[in-house]
Amino acid sequence: MKEDSETVNEPAGGATAQQAFASYAAPLVDEAIELAGGIRDDASAETLHELRVSLRRLRSLWWAFAPLLDKGENARQRAVYKFLATAAGKTRDWDILIELLAQEDSGAQALLPKLEQARSDTLATSRETLTTADVKRLLRDALAATSEELNAAHESDIALRKFAAERIGASERSLKKRIKRARRAKRSHYEAFHDVRKAGKRLRYLFEFFGPVLRSGHKRMLRRLKKIQKRFGMLNDTVASEALLRDHAPSLANAGDIEAALQWLDRKRKRRLRAASGLLG
């Protein structure tokens, strides 16, 4: 999966942050454009997942460079990436629900044909949204505009290594704050755990971008982030699937035992929540 792949070019050792931006952004933009175009022919769960990850990484990269960019324009660009990722993610959410309920002990096999149809209908909408949005133009324009803005700001040039350390530091503090909040939260307060997942994911992406230029090693932190991402990701899959099934229960009436499926998801969510909580100690 794309979380474990290296998709950026390593900038020269003496580069400034402004000079290095394009070497990080351009390969990600190319990847997202290719994946978005490929959905017409390959709408598999893996392709949709890779597109969503690619767009999230772009959003994290623009977050990293936010201190060097116009605040309003940066927020607009990141909102575009979120919109596109959501378009791809709606179909992916059905894939996750189907994968979960396809397990034999869920007792929801009778629901699967209806869920597959809902997935197919959502895919048609996702394709239309991504095609109408003109992903290629949007991402190329964002890359060009941001690169131009950074190249014009020579008076504020900052060494890449210093900039990377500062942004990773800010991301680490954000993660620690959210972990502290989640420790105090009740387990029923899922939003606090979801915030940990998002902060951990962003920090991991930043390590993948900037790791080669940092002075100190970060393998131990990366190992912890991968554990957080895996356990909290599994928890999020269950929570999102439960919500998706509840939201569409009326249209799935008479397709199978929805209540039994919801109870099964509820038990799985509680188990996964306990497992995720164990990483916060």
pLDDT of 35 strictly over 50 = yes
pTM (two decimals): 0.86
The answer as to whether 1 is a domain residue is no
The answer as to whether 182 is a domain residue is yes
What is the per-residue pLDDT for 2?
A: 44
pLDDT of 278 strictly over 70 = yes
pLDDT in tens, 78-120: 999 999 999 888 888 999 999 999 987 887 888 899 999 999 9
Selection from 61, 33, 18 nearest residue 201 by Cα: 61
The answer as to whether 3 is a domain residue is no
Residue type, 261: A
Count structural domains, the chain: 1
The answer as to whether 187 is a domain residue is yes
Listed range (39-43, 85-89, 185-189, 237-241) with the worst mean pLDDT = 185-189
**First-residue to last-residue Cα distance in the chain:** 28
CA geometry: angle 155, 24, 147, nearest 5 deg: 40
The answer as to whether 103 is a domain residue is yes
Q: What integer best gives the mean pLDDT of the chain?
A: 88
How is residue 164 written in tokens? 């990377």
> What does DSSP assign to residue 37?
H
The answer as to whether 62 is a domain residue is yes
Q: Any idea what the CATH number is for the domain that residue 196 is in?
A: 1.40.20.10
pLDDT in tens, 41-69: 887 878 888 999 999 999 999 999 999 99
CA distance 235 to 189: 13
pLDDT of 155 strictly over 80 = no
How does residue 146 score in pLDDT terms, banded at 50, 70 and 90? very high
Which residues is 159 bridged to in the sheet? 16
Query: Domain of 97?
Result: 13-280
The answer as to whether 37 is a domain residue is yes
pLDDT of 4 strictly over 50 = no
> What does DSSP assign to residue 16?
B
The answer as to whether 8 is a domain residue is no
